[in-house]
Amino acid sequence: MTCPVLGSIFIHRDRKIPDITNQGVLRGEEAMKIKKGDHVVVITGDDESSSPRLVLQVLAGGQKMVIQGVNQVYKHVKRGHPKSPSGGRLQIEMPIQSSNVMYYCESCQKPTRLGLRYDDDGAKVRYCKKCDTSCGEAISPKRTKYAKAGS
Ligand SMILES: [Zn+2]
């Protein structure tokens, strides 16, 4: 393989070469299935429960997410903090690994897995693998910055 800058370069046969499609999205990377505003069920960990909870934020390209009432910590703040002008303890949610949650399907009222397909207009949409209902458009993975939780 020849590179215009470096000339001939050696690439290990087993090494994965990032393959960028015309949309600027890394191929081979799965589209983010769960997005902000969805409901999920936490299936493992300290906050494991069968009740659906709201996703507040999706971070790190879909690998982590902040879920309402899950992984709550106390943050001690000084006076003048915008969320607590008198200071004290603020209860905020910290992100958890996305592998610990399952998407909650509103139409079949069950935790389920999502599939991806193209609808008649050519848009990539998610669908419930249990009841086959479409669950809105899928979003392409984006390298999101590790944002501060609760902000
Ligand atoms: Zn369903």
8 Å CB contact between 112 and 104: yes
Q: CA 71 to CA 91: how far, in whole Å? A: 10
| pLDDT tens digits, 119-149 | 888 888 888 988 988 888 877 655 444 444 4
Residue 4, pLDDT > 70, answer no
For residue 105, the CA-to-ligand 1 centroid distance in Å is 5
Q: Which domains does the chain have, with CATH numbers?
A: 20-111 (2.30.30.30)
Determine the distance separating the centroid of ligand 1 and the alpha carbon of 26, expressed in angstroms. Answer: 29
% residues pLDDT > 90 (the chain)? 25
Cα(116)–Cα(124) distance, rounded to whole angstroms?
7
Cα–ligand 1 centroid distance for 37 (angstroms): 17
What one-character-per-residue DSSP string does 111-125 give? Answer: EE-EEEEE-TTS-EE
End-to-end Cα, the chain, rounded Å: 47
Q: Does 51 have pLDDT greater than 70?
A: yes
106 CA from centroid of ligand 1 (Å): 7
Of 33, 29, 37, nearest in space to 68 by CA? 37
Tell me, in angstroms, the distance from the centre of ligand 1 to residue 151's CA.
32
Average pLDDT score over residue span 76-85 = 89
The rounded distance, in Å, linking the Cα atoms of 112 and 77 is: 39
Confidence band for 68, pLDDT divided at 50, 70 and 90: very high
Question: Cα–Cα distance between 141 and 64 in angstroms, integer?
Answer: 13
Supply the pTM of this predicted model.
0.65
Position 40 confidence tier, pLDDT thresholds 50, 70, 90? very high
What is the arithmetic mean of pLDDT over 74-84?
89
